[in-house]
Amino acid sequence: MGKIIALAGKGGVGKTTVASLVLRYFSKKELGPVLAVDADPNSNLGETLGMDVIKTVGDIREDFMKDPQGVPSGMDKIVYLEMLMNQVLIERKEFDLLVMGRQEGQGCYCMVNNILNKFSDELEKNYKFLLVDNEAGMEHLSRRTSGNIDMLILVSDYALRGLRAVGRIKEMIPSLKLGVSNIGLVVNRAPSELGKAFLDEADKIGVQILSTLPNDDTLLEFDMERKSLLDLPDDSKAVVAVDSLMEKVLGIVNSK
């Protein structure tokens, strides 16, 4: 099992942008193989990377639940679902992407979830790094049946509401029974100097600030022109900041 780096934070703080820049770092440094898992129901990671996501794991689950008997004649259900999972895995030279997609509807999903989780566990063994872009509730991570999270990066913007959301996420970790080796905070769209009220709140929550990411107009330009963040220039302020962040993160996770 490779190193697992997960990101979490409330919606709108720029978590998926940070995840995209982390993937850019891995790609430029050729540190793969890397599996990126978009576990946020909004499923925006592929879009920021300039990738077309046709189908998700959630789509597979829902389609199967609508017609459990639709398995091709002579094929085992487990083999069938694993075949479908391979089809939704988007493979690139730099990394692979698996999009979890929609949350569960009504009904019992235990059997199909067990099969999909088992496939995911086996798939992850083939990668040096697993990067997981989570929703605030970290539902995907709570279902993990194997593996320890080597670094949980909590992302907030420069606002106390975002920071307090980070505090709530941190508080729920023990109840999710997750093995988290390291936790750190990234402050997105931050000023050159963080104010006392913000620093005091971070200290109260008990989370180390790993990095601050400045406002970067280039990110807005790329978004408006629907360009992949993988193509951002090396001197982009956001790129420089995330590259520095990842040097620190890898120093921490590789020290054990």
CB-based burial, 104-136: b 16+ in 10 Å, e otherwise: eeeeeeeebeebbeebbeebbeebebbbbbbbb
pLDDT at 213: 97
pLDDT surpasses 80 at 232: yes
Tell me what pLDDT residue 176 has. Answer: 80
- The neighbouring-strand residues paired with 132 are 6, 37
112-149: pLDDT as tens digits: 767 677 777 788 888 999 999 987 767 766 666 555 88
Q: Where are the domains of the chain?
A: 3-253
Give residue 107's pLDDT.
Answer: 53
What is the pLDDT at residue 74? 83
CATH superfamily to which 3-253 belongs: P-loop containing nucleotide triphosphate hydrolases (3.40.50.300)
What pLDDT was estimated at residue 233?
A: 96
pLDDT at 225: 93
**15-60 per-position pLDDT tens digit:** 999 999 999 999 999 998 999 999 887 778 999 999 988 888 888 8
For 109-127, the DSSP string reads -HHHHHHHHHHHHHHHTT-
| Pairwise pLDDT comparison (76 vs 218), residue with the higher score | 218
Contact (Cβ atoms closer than 8 angstroms) between residue 141 and residue 134: yes
Q: What is the pLDDT of residue 143?
A: 65
